[in-house]
Amino acid sequence: MQSVTKKRTKAFLIDVAVSSVVTAGVEYFLRKKVKNEAVHALVTPTVVMWALEYAQLRQNGQTIGYKAMGLTLENEEGSELTSSQILKRMAYRDTVSTFDYLKDPKAFEEQDGEILPHDRFSSTVVKEL
């Protein structure tokens, strides 16, 4: 794996850990109001992860994990990230990108790991600081 790909993987794991802690806090309050376990198992973790990621990327182009690993997410043209780019990127990464990896793992190593399939789809690029 390329250096940027390794950093991206570590950054994602850091973001999942942060999201898990926040999810645990949110679920503490939701358990009293929502009795459906599917909501707690599927919906809450996804909504919390996406909300945290969206807010952080929209604010400064970095999540906590990206900041720790010295990475930043940028628009391909160098302008500020748009809301639709961030949402497209998250949705593609968490759905179709898994199948892309299973079909062609080598595509995840193109361009030194700076542009993965979900980045190409959303016209974003990850840069090292």
pLDDT tens for residues 78-117? Answer: 888 999 999 999 999 999 988 887 888 776 666 677 888 8
Residue 23, CB half-sphere, CA atoms under 13 Å: how many?
19
**pLDDT for position 20:** 95
Largest separation between any pair of C-alpha atoms in the chain: 48
**pLDDT for position 110:** 66
The pLDDT of residue 1 is above 60: no
Pick from 114, 118, 67: nearest CA to 95: 118
Using 50, 70 and 90 to split pLDDT, how confident is the model at 66? Answer: very high
**pLDDT for position 31:** 87
pLDDT tens for residues 118-128? Answer: 888 999 999 99
Task: Report how far Cα 55 is from the mean position of its chain's Cα atoms.
Answer: 11
pLDDT tens for residues 13-40? Answer: 999 999 999 999 999 999 888 888 888 8
- The C-alpha torsion from 66 through 112 and 90 to 12, rounded to 10°, is -40
Q: Please give the full DSSP string across 36-60, using - where no structure is assigned.
A: -HHIIIIIHHHHHHHHHHHHHHHHH
CA 122 → CA 24, 33, 77, distances in Å? 30, 36, 12
- What is the overall mean pLDDT for the chain? 90
